[in-house]
């Protein structure tokens, strides 16, 4: 996925990341899964955003170049986000779950443990396959396969549902048996 893919509203990017392939490369080994759940986060107007106070590394990263990873720890777990926003704005997309073969690696902490993602991958470009973590075009989730809900574990939320997932009945279309 080119860097320009991420230069749009976080909710648009979050929905369109569904069905894309998340690939982690360590030495010559590849771990990959299809993205099946994401969440969009905006800037200071979003009460659940890391940018709500407009300061610190996380807020600066959310306003920085698009298509880069934003990795931070919560409850002793790493969370993988991709910076996505329109010019001059803040935003990021949390990758919550991937489908690997017939299994779903569900939850952002389980996902980062499975892919061996940690803070060393913070601020790496996911549009560059040599970065160790990249997102590749694979499948497109049509509107009939996308479910929208409120974000998980968020007490104060925006009025629109910003959690996006592929409906389980659509999973066979998103088989991860790829060449």
Domain ranges (residues) in the chain: 3-170
Instruction: Give Cβ neighbours of residue 110 (< 8 Å, ≥ 6 apart).
Output: none
CA 162/CA 15 separation, integer angstroms: 9
Average pLDDT score over residue span 80-87: 98
| Contact yes or no for 96/38 (Cβ under 8 A) | yes
pTM: 0.93
Q: What is the pLDDT of residue 55?
A: 77
Q: What is the pLDDT of residue 57?
A: 87
Instruction: Give Cβ neighbours of residue 34 (< 8 Å, ≥ 6 apart).
Output: 19, 20, 21, 22, 98, 99, 100, 138, 139, 174, 176
Q: What is the DSSP letter of 102?
A: T
pLDDT digits (tens, 9 = 90+) for 10-36: 999 999 999 999 999 998 899 999 999
Angle at 132 between CA 131 and CA 136, to 5 degrees: 85
The two three-digit tokens of residue 146, written as one number: 């996308």
Assign a CATH topology to domain 3-170: 3-methyladenine DNA Glycosylase; Chain A (3.10.300)
Indicate the pLDDT class of residue 108, thresholds 50, 70 and 90. very high
């Amino acid at each position: 996925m080119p860097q320009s893919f991420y230069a749009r509203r976080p909710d648009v990017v979050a929905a369109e990341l569904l069905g894309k392939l998340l690939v982690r490369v360590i030495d010559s080994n590849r771990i990959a899964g299809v993205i099946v759940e994401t969440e969009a986060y905006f800037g200071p107007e979003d009460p659940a955003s890391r940018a709500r106070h407009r300061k610190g590394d996380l807020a600066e990263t959310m306003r920085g170049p698009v298509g880069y990873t934003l990795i931070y720890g919560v409850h002793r777990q790493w969370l993988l986000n991709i910076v996505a926003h329109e010019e001059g704005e803040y935003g990021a997309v949390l990758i919550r779950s991937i489908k690997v073969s017939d299994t779903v690696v569900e939850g952002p902490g389980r996902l980062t443990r499975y892919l061996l993602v940690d803070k060393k991958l913070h601020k790496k470009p996911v549009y560059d396959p040599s970065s160790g973590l990249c997102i590749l075009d694979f499948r497109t989730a049509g509107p009939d396969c996308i479910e929208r809900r409120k974000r998980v574990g968020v007490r104060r939320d925006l009025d629109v549902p910003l959690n996006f997932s592929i409906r389980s009945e659509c999973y066979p279309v998103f088989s991860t048996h790829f060449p």
